[in-house]
Amino acid sequence: MRFKEAYDGWQAGRLRQEEAAQLLGVCERSFRRYIDRYEEDGLQGLIDRRLGQISHRRAPVDEVMALTTAYRARHEGWSAKHYYAWTGGRAGDAATPL
């Protein structure tokens, strides 16, 4: 409830926006955004909206499975960096045999 405490302090005039933002570890602009979201939707408005979204950079499941199978079959114990360097970045390409 850190935001609520900072918000209440700001509303009561005990804190300036700058001080309240420092308490939360954000800039003044972010604190003002939090105020807008809090006044509009309450505490639910402060929940991170990105948590329910799927990344646009997410790899297809079949590609991940092919890569995992190839890694487990021949390269168990290698670091990801070493494995990637050895395959030349073509590890996820199903058409290219390792």
- One pLDDT digit (tens) per residue for the chain, 98 residues: 689 999 999 999 999 999 999 999 999 999 999 999 999 998 888 887 777 788 888 888 898 898 888 888 888 888 888 888 887 766 555 444 44
- The number of angstroms, rounded, from the C-alpha of 32 to the middle of its chain's C-alpha atoms is 22
- Give CA torsion, residues 47, 51, 55, 58, to 10 deg: 160
DSSP SS3 for 53: coil
